């Protein structure tokens, strides 16, 4: 069921400064910032040979990562995103095994234009998990 690691997401207080670390320090290709109002974040993606790093900054005070940054003012690892072939089948299988799906339980369109949903970190060794339909 689980596919490749799509991205590692890092919440940051300053997306331009964080992007510069990857672009200028590592010489990585970094996308332009993109606001995702439906998710309450501004994101950039750092392309790597085997995956991506997503840098996320709150977009407004109601952002779901604002509280994360209150607890971790310097930023930090926010979630891991795994690809799945069929997001509804994956959701149903994991929920039947006891995993909690966050929000309404229905997938929303994510930053890559594909259906995504999030799983409770307490059910995955303390790690927030995002599933994205491949």
Q: What are phi and psi of 58, to 5 degrees?
A: -60, 140
Q: How many domains does the chain have?
A: 1
Distance CA 94, CA 66 (A): 28
| pTM > 0.85: yes or no | yes
CATH number at residue 75: 3.10.180.10
How far is C-alpha 8 from the geometric centre of its chain's CA atoms? 7
pLDDT of residue 104: 95
Q: Is 130 a catalytic residue?
A: yes
pLDDT at 53: 98
Annotated catalytic residue: which of 38, 61, 70, 130? 130
Domain holding 85, by residue range, is 2-133
* Separation CA 54–CA 79 (nearest Å): 9
pLDDT in tens, 85-131: 999 999 999 999 999 999 999 999 999 999 999 999 999 999 999 99
């Amino acid at each position: 069921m689980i596919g490749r690691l799509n991205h590692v997401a890092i919440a940051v207080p300053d997306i331009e400064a964080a992007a510069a670390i990857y672009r200028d320090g590592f010489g990585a290709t970094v996308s332009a910032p993109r606001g995702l109002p439906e998710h309450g974040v501004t994101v950039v993606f750092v392309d790597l040979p085997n995956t991506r790093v997503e840098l996320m900054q709150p977009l407004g005070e109601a952002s779901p990562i604002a509280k994360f940054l209150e607890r971790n003012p310097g930023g930090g690892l926010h979630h891991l995103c795994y690809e799945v072939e069929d997001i509804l089948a994956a959701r149903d299988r994991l929920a039947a095994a006891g995993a909690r799906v966050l929000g309404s339980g229905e997938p929303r369109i994510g930053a890559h234009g594909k259906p995504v949903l999030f799983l409770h970190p307490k059910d995955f060794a303390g790690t927030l998990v995002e599933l994205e339909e491949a």
